[in-house]
């Protein structure tokens, strides 16, 4: 059996890393930088990527990255790829475990991971690394396998030792009370929401999806969202703070479906996830809680006139 060595990324690895992504995903990987070795090296030189590789028979056979943002206290574990010839030997898990240690050494307070739902490999790996699943991102990105159906993702978060990210102590809507209580049990609670950092409203487009990030949801913003084209796929990240229960109900009446939480990458708080316009699909997920959340989301878009439980059994 071939000996596998893990080591830090070197500039000379860029062409081999690019070839490995093309070998596994063809021309369909959503991050185009992996197809240009120069961009791979530039991201490392600029401090945006921090990678480890696995080497077998003197060839790069595995790769995983921490995506870094100097303006954020959160890194992302991503760009994981392993040659089929060495699969089944926990290479991706070992690379991820070492990078979580690196994240702590680099001063980050937590790490996120986006897990593919096309298969369970990344979901099982995330669980073994200690990630807590917090939400779903429906129809989030093009399929890395060239399928016509877009890829939905499970969002996980792992706090770095010594740092806590509690939820604000709020009154949760009955329909998602059980889900939110689970999140409180995992991460704890604090009396008040964390301060908001950055601009109050953002709206960007990527891969045909409109991503909004908002510090609050007032009457004026709700009216403006309601006037956006009905065919738009819209994802909203809303600061988890006082008034969440009212925002939840009003967004639900407008066709938005609650899909969990995401850590605020600009502050120390949490963002509530809402989506509108995603396609019905059947998924089999590794995490029972995410499976319940997904199934309830599907029931809600199938019966938009009814408010179903979010993360609860009907």
pLDDT tens for 287-302 read: 999 999 999 999 999 8
Do both 153 and 245 map to the same domain?
no
Q: How far apart are CA 144 and CA 150, in angstroms?
A: 9
Q: Is the pTM of the predicted complex or chain greater than 0.85?
A: yes
The pLDDT confidence band at residue 307, using thresholds 50, 70 and 90, is very low
CATH code: domain of residue 117: 3.40.630.30
Do both 175 and 61 map to the same domain?
no
Do both 154 and 183 map to the same domain?
no
Asked whether 271 and 264 are in contact (CB, 8 A), the reply is: yes
Do both 12 and 89 map to the same domain?
yes
Do both 23 and 132 map to the same domain?
yes
Do both 110 and 180 map to the same domain?
no
| Among 127, 180, 179, 133, residue whose Cα is nearest residue 157 | 133
In a domain, 98, yes or no: yes
Do both 51 and 127 map to the same domain?
yes
Do both 34 and 137 map to the same domain?
yes
In a domain, 310, yes or no: no
Mean pLDDT over residues 108-119, rounded? 94
Do both 58 and 133 map to the same domain?
yes
Domain boundary among 125, 159, 193: 159
Domain boundary among 159, 181, 213: 159
pLDDT at 313 > cutoff 50: no
Which residue(s) pair with 220 in the sheet?
A: none
In a domain, 313, yes or no: no
Phi and psi at residue 133, to the nearest 5°: -75, 130
In a domain, 154, yes or no: yes
In a domain, 19, yes or no: yes
In a domain, 31, yes or no: yes
Do both 179 and 36 map to the same domain?
no
Q: How far apart are CA 233 and CA 275, in angstroms?
A: 7
The pLDDT, as a whole number, for residue 269 is 96
Domain boundary among 159, 193, 216: 159
Q: How many domains does the chain have?
A: 2
The pLDDT confidence band at residue 180, using thresholds 50, 70 and 90, is very high
- Range(s) of the domain holding residue 75: 4-159
Q: What is the pLDDT of residues 24-50, one digit of tens each?
A: 999 999 999 999 999 999 999 999 999
What percent of the chain has pLDDT above 90? 86
Do both 205 and 274 map to the same domain?
yes
Sheet holding 4-8, edge to edge: 4-8, 49-56, 59-67, 74-82, 110-116, 151-159, 132-141, 257-263, 270-276, 233-239, 209-214, 201-206
Q: How many CA atoms are closer than 13 Å to the CA of 73, on its beta-carbon side? A: 16
Do both 209 and 147 map to the same domain?
no
């Amino acid at each position: 059996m071939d000996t596998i060595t893990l080591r830090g990324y070197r500039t000379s690895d860029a062409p081999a890393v690019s070839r490995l992504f093309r070998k596994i995903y063809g021309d369909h990987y959503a991050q185009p930088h992996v197809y240009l070795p120069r961009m791979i090296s530039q991201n490392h030189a600029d401090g945006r990527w921090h990678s480890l590789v696995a080497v077998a028979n003197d060839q790069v056979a595995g790769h995983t990255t921490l995506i870094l943002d100097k303006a954020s206290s959160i890194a992302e574990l991503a760009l994981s790829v392993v040659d089929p010839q060495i699969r089944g030997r926990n290479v991706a898990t070992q690379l991820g475990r070492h990078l979580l240690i690196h994240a702590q050494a680099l001063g980050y307070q937590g790490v996120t991971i986006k897990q593919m739902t096309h298969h369970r490999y990344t979901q099982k790996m995330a669980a073994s690394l200690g990630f807590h699943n917090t939400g779903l991102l429906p129809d989030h990105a093009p399929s890395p396998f060239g399928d016509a159906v877009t890829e939905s993702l499970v969002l996980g978060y792992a706090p770095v030792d010594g740092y806590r990210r509690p939820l604000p102590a709020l009154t949760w809507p009955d329909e998602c009370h059980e889900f939110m209580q689970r999140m409180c049990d995992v991460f704890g609670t604090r009396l008040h929401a964390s301060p908001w950092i950055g601009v109050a409203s953002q709206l960007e487009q990527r891969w045909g999806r409109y991503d909004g990030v908002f510090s609050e949801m007032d009457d004026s913003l709700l009216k403006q969202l309601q006037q956006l084209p009905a065919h738009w796929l819209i994802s909203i990240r809303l600061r988890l703070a006082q008034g969440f229960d009212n925002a939840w109900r009003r967004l639900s009446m407008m066709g938005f479906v609650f899909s969990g939480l995401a850590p605020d990458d600009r502050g120390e708080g949490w963002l509530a996830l809402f989506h509108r316009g995603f396609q019905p699909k059947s998924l089999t997920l590794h995490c029972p809680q995410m499976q319940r959340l997904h199934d309830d989301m599907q029931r809600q878009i199938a019966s938009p006139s009814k408010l179903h439980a979010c993360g609860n059994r009907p």
